[in-house]
Amino acid sequence: MTEMPVVTEVARAKINLALHVTGRRDDGYHLLDSLVTFCESGDRLDITASDEDRFSVSGPFADVLGAPADNLVLKARDGLRQRLAAAGIITGPVAIHLEKNLPVASGIGGGSADAAAALHGLLRAWKTDLEPRTSNALLLSLGADVPMCFAGTPLAARGIGENITPLPQMPAMALVLANPLIGVSTPAIFKALERRDNPPVGALPASADLADWIDCLKNLRNDMEPAATRLVPEIAAARAMLDAEGALLSRMSGSGATCFGIFGSFEKAKAAAEALRRQRPDWYFCATNTMSA
Ligand SMILES: C[C@](O)(CO)[C@H](O)COP(=O)(O)OP(=O)(O)OC[C@H]1O[C@@H](n2ccc(N)nc2=O)[C@H](O)[C@@H]1O
Ligand SMILES: Nc1ncnc2c1ncn2[C@@H]1O[C@H](COP(=O)(O)OP(=O)(O)OP(=O)(O)O)[C@@H](O)[C@H]1O
């Protein structure tokens, strides 16, 4: 067995600060215009060399995951290995451990973030890289959110999510994530949309001033939120709770049900998350900073 140190990656929660659905392609996939950022917190992946491929899971949401064969981490490992083999690069067996800290099917890209982190970690572990065209095709084959999670930096995502523009002027933000622990199916929400021809995001602040970004975000939307709230009314309750704790702005992320509140500082976010946990000990709350560019 070749000596390989433990490679650790954080699979950061993805937040759609705004998510406009602007059209639909002939194949049924929706055209999006989304402002996306990533949290400091998320799942954790540890990768080590092994005598055979292994996969284990721990953490508060490990039990909610389906069969290992359906896990996007293994789909990412196998897809990467296949493409590397096609380029003549043979890769050794690995043990991957996933610490599942993010709620599942919750609009913050858990599975997509895990897949992206697995790819980053395996490329480091195997000391290799993919040429951009191959890696773009692999990323999108794993899910529309995987290219943005692989980029992992504040960005605008267009197309079906794969057309990415970094937004270096987006500031870091202190967030509280709130989720009633009711899983939401992404295809079900896309199907339930009443409109698919909404206006795009438009102009963004040129500077990193948080107040300017919040003013801008206030005029934007998550076009999936009305349909998701009809299915899971707790989404409206989560937003109201974030607002009552002093969020400068609250909104749903992705196809839900996770909502985020932006707070003036991490201390304020932490205090709000603690107060919310006391109100609903059965829900998920997390205070976290987002990454700066
Ligand atoms: C809602 C978002 O989270 C916003 O970032 C993403 O668009 C969803 O990304 P994802 O979960 O990675 O989605 P995928 O696993 O690729 O697709 C799940 C299903 O959602 C629908 N889907 C997804 C992405 C997209 N732009 N249009 C769609 O209509 C399709 O029915 C697809 O079969
Ligand atoms: N590593 C993983 N973590 C979470 N879910 C996974 C994983 N692998 C596969 N899945 C499956 O993917 C489905 C969607 O889960 P996920 O947590 O990625 O949704 P999401 O947060 O709504 O994602 P998105 O914001 O990309 O729509 C679930 O049914 C889950 O069983």
Concatenating the DSSP letter of every residue in 76-103 gives: HHHHHHHHHHHTT-----EEEEEE--SP
Cα–Cα distance for residue pair 217/144, rounded to 1 Å: 23
In a domain, 1, yes or no: no
Atom of ligand 1 nearest to the CA of 112: 12
Q: Are residues 265 and 149 in the same domain?
A: no
What does the pLDDT read at residue 176? Answer: 98
pLDDT at 132: 87
Same domain, 14 and 139: yes
pTM of the complete model? 0.97
Domain annotation covers residue 2: no
Domains of the chain: total: 2
Could you list the residue range(s) of the whole structural domain that residue 240 is in? Answer: 174-289
Does 73 count as an annotated binding residue?
A: no
Catalytic residue among 14, 75, 100, 268: 14
Q: How far apart are CA 60 and CA 249, in angstroms?
A: 28
Report the Cα–Cα distance between both ends of the chain, in Å, rounded.
38
Q: What mean pLDDT, rounded, does the chain reach?
A: 96
Exposure of 125 by Cβ count < 10 A (0-12 exposed, 13-18 middle, 19+ buried)?
buried
The residue-averaged pLDDT of 241-264 equals 98
What's the gap in Å between 277 CA and the centre of ligand 1? 30
> How far apart are the C-alpha atoms of 233 and 230, rounded to whole Å?
6
- For residue 75, the ligand 2 atom closest to its alpha carbon is 8
Q: Residue 199 corresponds to which amino acid?
A: P
pLDDT band (50, 70, 90) for residue 3? low
Q: Report the pLDDT value the prediction gives residue 77, as an integer from 0 to 100.
A: 98
Nearest CA-CA partner of 118 in 93, 85, 96 = 96
Same domain, residue pair 161 and 186: no
Residues 6+ apart with CB under 8 A from 60: 100, 101
Per-residue pLDDT tens digits for 215-227: 999 999 999 999 9
Residues 103 and 203 in one domain: no
97 & 237 share domain: no
Q: Are residues 278 and 230 in the same domain?
A: yes
Whether residue 127 is found in the same domain as residue 248 = no
ipTM greater than 0.90, yes or no? Answer: yes
Q: Element (H or E) spanning 244, and its range?
A: helix 234-244
State how far the Cα of 94 lies from the Cα of 142, in Å rounded to an integer: 20
43, 114, 145, 223: the active-site residue: 145
Q: Which of 104, 114, 182 gets mutated to test ligand 2 (max ligand atoms within 8 A of its CB)? A: 104
Active site residue 127: no
14 is a catalytic site residue = yes
- Number of the ligand 1 atom closest to the C-alpha atom of 143: 16
Assess whether pLDDT exceeds 80 at residue 34: yes
pLDDT of 182 over the 90 cut: yes
